[in-house]
């Protein structure tokens, strides 16, 4: 359909019909995260939007893919494109038209509760993954929604905190991945809850209309985050196009099968504030007079600080028609909103002659999508395997096939599927760590949990009493759907205890200890230490067996106080449904550990965000005054040795780098030789050190400009070409925009931001 055809549909609509297309409504089927009824009279079918970045979240199972840092750790954008396509196909199979992902925020705060939904601390790296996932989703006939635009880098008070960040920093660090996602064809972008320099992003004309739509030429629609719309007239005129969920919190919880708290107080301070607002808020508040029901502020829940205002759900439904009639919102702006939404849907085939909802999900009607296919299962294994990072190896790995292994850890009977919140997915099948090792090992396998199960945290538990239905019809009581785990499990006839784990470790050739953190949307981790007594468990096991391997399944960086006592460490992130299978493949060397760190690992106090002004902020403001020195940029500038740098990851093979050469203004070449007697996969990284800038700003010593991976058999070598992103050469100048300073730009090539093996100079 042409742009004119889309405009012609919009022209036929009444004012009420137009407004009906720019906010959500209740989904009678209760399957969608967000629902727009469409306008049957003119052939616009209903639109269903679903979470999320790690798998499709409806009320039915779907493939639970590895979390975003695991995907990013692969440094393999082809895998990202394939995962995006699989997400799109699964969304279609579930009759969904729009996928609410990928999570595209930069990892600024190591404690951020949603880091498991984000890719990386580097903008070029994040952007490459966001773009590839978007490309995949859209190629499957589904609208992608990179989120949460922008500077949503923490969950603590996410609904009101103001990121105080200056323009060059925003341009160089926080905006680029969104721009890449837009350039890859994203049909939609989700605005974040937070404020940027005092203005809510949902009302930020500069960010929404001038930068995103104007400069970048984004012709899709901006959707609000759920309950993240602060006003009607201001947000619409600033550039917000679709309000979600468009209904009250109680209606939403109802449609999700959750029972709202019947005892809403209806007379709290927030209702008074709503009454004072003339933009339809008092009506919304009335409809929602159990405003406190989404979470009771008095119940001490960890999430209260991270929740948006539940009264804000129905604002456009209540007040947009009168606002247009009064002339506060020009009708041309409403037409723009409608054509943007219809245009994005049309681009994925949703308007192709469909007049009512079809089981195909509307989009590409020749393609019914696919879910839980062997291909998707294999892809989940491949990403989890390739994304596993070997941080340390004293030679204990890979394990001998016939080694006697003690499998230790409080959660060895469950796959770590993800963190809590809107990205929770219930898989059809999963392999627990214990199963993975038992299936692969040829030696004896003993199991000792060592500690009581470490429970994940779920936002949904806090929100309603109903819980979510799970694949087997049970109730998911944790973020990871781990109701499958046998909580009463005992080790050798006794309650799990550290002593039992020590005994098992001492009797085995190798002890493999699985540990995990717990992270969730709407709250930040309070520490980078492992929860419960897992650090103690590792120390005790390492004391009993010199050949102790730690597998850390975490949302981001963790502290490793036991590092010097263990023989090997794997960072396995949240690996999703393939946890056991993928980890076993790496442990036994069936796959080379292909992962490299997308975030720096260091003790909490070593990050710039250890200053509370920066995180979580003071008086509602988070000062981003570390400027450009985020992640490895900070550690490199400070000359501080992190525990493990960005880009780090060992292979079972060994590589030699030779002949780094610039072969053009934006390309370097290097010869990489595998000097080991086994095959391996090397991730070659290029960092640019630009000439000193004439401004005062502290600039990072070097910035990632590109990467490429190569698989080499024993003794093989290859010339690897790396394309360099122009942004790594440049800086954003407050008065001149993107500027490349003249002079020599030194391009270092190597294994990480710290392990650089050679360099070439490019004159600009």
Binding residues vs ligand BGC (CB under 6 A) = 33, 51-52, 100, 147, 225-226, 422
Q: Find out whether 604 and 98 touch, Cβ atoms under 8 Å.
A: no
DSSP-assigned letter for residue 618: B
SS3 content of the chain, % helix, strand, coil (to 5): 30, 20, 50
Q: Which among 314, 345, 284 has a CA at the least distance from the CA of 20?
A: 314
Q: Find out whether 202 and 229 touch, Cβ atoms under 8 Å.
A: yes
Q: Find out whether 440 and 589 touch, Cβ atoms under 8 Å.
A: no
Helices (H), 631-732: 632-638, 726-729
Minimal distance, residue 52 CB to ligand BGC, in Å: 6
Name every residue whose Cβ is closer than 8 Å to that of residue 300 and which is 6 or more positions away in sequence. none
Q: Find out whether 447 and 501 touch, Cβ atoms under 8 Å.
A: no
User: Which residue, 207 or 396, is less far from ligand BGC as judged by CB?
Assistant: 207
Coil, strand, or helix at residue 533?
coil
User: Which residue, 49 or 432, is less far from ligand BGC as judged by CB?
Assistant: 49
Among residues 225, 241, 289, 725, which one is catalytic? Answer: 225
Q: Which among 532, 755, 613 has a CA at the least distance from the CA of 109?
A: 613
Coil, strand, or helix at residue 61?
coil
User: Which residue, 104 or 388, is less far from ligand BGC as judged by CB?
Assistant: 104
Minimal distance, residue 543 CB to ligand BGC, in Å: 43
**Residue 712, CA distances (Å) to 71, 354, 683, 684 in order:** 21, 50, 11, 12
Q: Find out whether 570 and 388 touch, Cβ atoms under 8 Å.
A: yes
Q: Is 697 exposed, middle or buried (0-12, 13-18, 19+ CB in 10 A)?
A: middle
Q: Find out whether 555 and 115 touch, Cβ atoms under 8 Å.
A: yes
Minimal distance, residue 658 CB to ligand BGC, in Å: 45
Minimal distance, residue 297 CB to ligand BGC, in Å: 17
Helix 579-587 vs helix 374-386: angle between axes, to the nearest 10 degrees? 50
DSSP-assigned letter for residue 383: H
Please state, in angstroms and rounded to a whole number, the distance separating the CA atoms of residues 716 and 718: 7
Burial 665-686 (b: 16+ CB within 10 A, else e): ebbbbbebbbebeebbbbbbbb
User: Which residue, 294 or 722, is less far from ligand BGC as judged by CB?
Assistant: 294
Minimal distance, residue 110 CB to ligand BGC, in Å: 20
Please state, in angstroms and rounded to a whole number, the distance separating the CA atoms of residues 170 and 321: 35
Q: What residue number has its CB nearest to ligand BGC?
A: 422
Is 225 assigned a catalytic role? Answer: yes
SS3 for 640-660 is CCCCECCCCCECCCCEEEEEE
Coil, strand, or helix at residue 13?
coil
Minimal distance, residue 422 CB to ligand BGC, in Å: 3
User: Which residue, 53 or 387, is less far from ligand BGC as judged by CB?
Assistant: 53
Please state, in angstroms and rounded to a whole number, the distance separating the CA atoms of residues 169 and 180: 17
Minimal distance, residue 518 CB to ligand BGC, in Å: 18
User: Which residue, 51 or 559, is less far from ligand BGC as judged by CB?
Assistant: 51
User: Which residue, 100 or 233, is less far from ligand BGC as judged by CB?
Assistant: 100
**568 φ, ψ to 5°?**
-155, 150
Minimal distance, residue 33 CB to ligand BGC, in Å: 5
Minimal distance, residue 500 CB to ligand BGC, in Å: 40
Minimal distance, residue 56 CB to ligand BGC, in Å: 12
Minimal distance, residue 113 CB to ligand BGC, in Å: 11
255: left (phi over 0), alpha (psi -120 to 50) or beta: alpha
User: Which residue, 100 or 622, is less far from ligand BGC as judged by CB?
Assistant: 100
User: Which residue, 227 or 588, is less far from ligand BGC as judged by CB?
Assistant: 227
* Order of strands, sheet of 667-674, starting from the edge strand that comes earlier in the sequence: 655-664, 667-674, 717-723
Coil, strand, or helix at residue 719?
strand
User: Which residue, 51 or 491, is less far from ligand BGC as judged by CB?
Assistant: 51
Minimal distance, residue 265 CB to ligand BGC, in Å: 23
Q: Which among 308, 92, 169 has a CA at the least distance from the CA of 732?
A: 169
Coil, strand, or helix at residue 455?
coil
User: Which residue, 146 or 627, is less far from ligand BGC as judged by CB?
Assistant: 146
**Residue 183, CA distances (Å) to 19, 78, 186, 187, 409 in order:** 28, 17, 7, 10, 44
Number of neighbours of residue 82 by Cβ within 10 angstroms: 19
User: Which residue, 145 or 364, is less far from ligand BGC as judged by CB?
Assistant: 145
**84 φ, ψ to 5°?**
-60, -45
Given the structure tokens 């809107």, which residue do they identify? Answer: 422
Q: Which residues are catalytic?
A: 225
């Amino acid at each position: 359909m042409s742009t004119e055809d889309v405009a012609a549909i919009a022209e036929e609509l009444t004012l009420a019909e137009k407004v009906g297309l720019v906010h959500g409504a209740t989904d009678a089927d209760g399957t969608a995260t967000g629902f727009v009824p469409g306008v049957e009279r003119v052939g616009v079918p209903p639109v269903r939007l679903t979470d999320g970045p790690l798998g499709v979240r409806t009320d039915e199972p779907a493939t639970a893919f590895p979390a975003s840092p695991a995907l990013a750790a692969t440094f393999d954008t082809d895998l990202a494109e394939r995962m995006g396509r699989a997400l799109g196909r699964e969304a279609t199979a579930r009759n969904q038209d729009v996928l609410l992902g990928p999570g595209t925020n930069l990892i600024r705060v190591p404690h951020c509760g949603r880091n498991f939904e984000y890719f990386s601390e580097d903008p070029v790296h994040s952007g490459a993954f966001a773009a590839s996932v978007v490309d995949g989703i859209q190629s499957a006939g589904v609208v992608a929604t990179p989120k949460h635009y922008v500077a949503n880098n923490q969950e603590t008070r996410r609904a009101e905190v103001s990121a105080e960040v200056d323009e060059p920093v925003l341009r160089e660090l926080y905006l680029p991945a969104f721009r890449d996602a837009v350039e890859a064809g994203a049909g939609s972008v989700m605005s974040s809850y937070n404020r940027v320099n005092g203005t809510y992003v949902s009302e930020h004309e500069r960010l929404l209309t001038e930068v995103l739509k104007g400069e970048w030429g984004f012709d899709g629609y901006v959707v609000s985050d759920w309950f993240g719309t602060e006003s009607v007239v201001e947000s619409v005129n600033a550039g917000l196009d679709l309000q979600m969920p468009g209904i009250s919190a109680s209606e939403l919880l109802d449609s999700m099968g959750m029972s709202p708290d019947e005892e809403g107080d209806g007379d709290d301070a927030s209702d008074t504030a709503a009454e004072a607002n003339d933009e339809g808020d008092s009506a919304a508040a009335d409809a929602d007079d159990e405003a406190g029901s989404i979470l009771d502020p008095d119940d001490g829940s960890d999430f209260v600080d991270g929740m948006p205002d539940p009264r804000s759900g129905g604002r456009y439904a209540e007040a947009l028609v009168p606002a247009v009639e009064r002339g506060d919102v020009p009708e041309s702006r409403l037409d723009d909103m409608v054509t943007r939404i219809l245009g994005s849907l049309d681009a994925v085939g949703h308007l192709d002659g469909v007049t009512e909802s079809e089981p195909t999900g509307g989009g590409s009607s020749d393609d019914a999508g696919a879910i839980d296919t062997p291909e998707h299962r294999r892809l989940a294994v491949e990403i989890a395997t390739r994304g596993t990072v070997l941080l340390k190896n004293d030679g204990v790995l890979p394990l001998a096939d016939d080694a006697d292994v003690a499998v230790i850890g409080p959660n060895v009977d469950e796959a770590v599927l993800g963190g809590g919140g809107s990205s929770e997915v219930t898989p059809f099948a999963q392999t627990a760590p214990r199963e993975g090792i038992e299936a692969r090992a040829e030696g004896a396998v003993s199991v000792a949990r060592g500690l009581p199960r470490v429970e994940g945290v779920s936002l949904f538990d806090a929100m309603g009493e109903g819980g979510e239905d799970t694949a087997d019809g049970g109730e998911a009581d944790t973020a990871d759907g781990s109701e499958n785990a046998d909580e009463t499990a005992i080790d050798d006839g006794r309650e799990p205890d550290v002593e039992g784990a020590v005994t098992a470790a001492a009797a085995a050739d190798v002890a493999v200890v699985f540990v995990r953190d717990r992270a969730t949307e709407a709250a930040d981790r309070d520490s980078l230490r492992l929860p419960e007594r897992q650090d103690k468990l590792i120390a005790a096991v390492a004391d009993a067996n010199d050949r102790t391997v730690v597998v850390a399944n975490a949302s981001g960086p963790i502290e490793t106080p036991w590092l010097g006592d263990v023989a090997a460490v794997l960072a396995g992130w949240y690996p999703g449904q393939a946890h056991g299978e993928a980890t076993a493949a790496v442990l036994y060397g069936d796959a080379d550990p292909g992962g490299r760190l997308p975030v720096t690992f260091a003790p909490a106090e070593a990050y710039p965000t250890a200053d509370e002004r920066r995180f979580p902020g003071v008086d509602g403001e988070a000062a981003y005054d570390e400027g450009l020195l985020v992640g490895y940029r900070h550690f490199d500038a400070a000359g501080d040795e992190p525990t493990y740098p960005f880009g780090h990851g060992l292979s079972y093979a060994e590589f030699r780098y030779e002949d780094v050469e610039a072969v053009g203004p934006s390309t370097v070449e290097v010869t990489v030789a595998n000097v080991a007697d086994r095959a391996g996969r090397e991730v070659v990284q290029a960092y640019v050190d630009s000439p000193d800038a004439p401004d005062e700003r502290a600039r990072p010593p070097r910035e990632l400009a590109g990467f490429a991976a190569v698989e080499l058999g024993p003794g093989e070598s290859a010339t690897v070409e790396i394309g360099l992103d122009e942004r790594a050469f440049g800086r954003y100048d407050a008065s001149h925009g993107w500027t490349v300073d003249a002079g020599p730009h030194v391009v270092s090539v190597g294994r990480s931001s710290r392990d650089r093996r050679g360099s070439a100079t490019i004159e600009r």
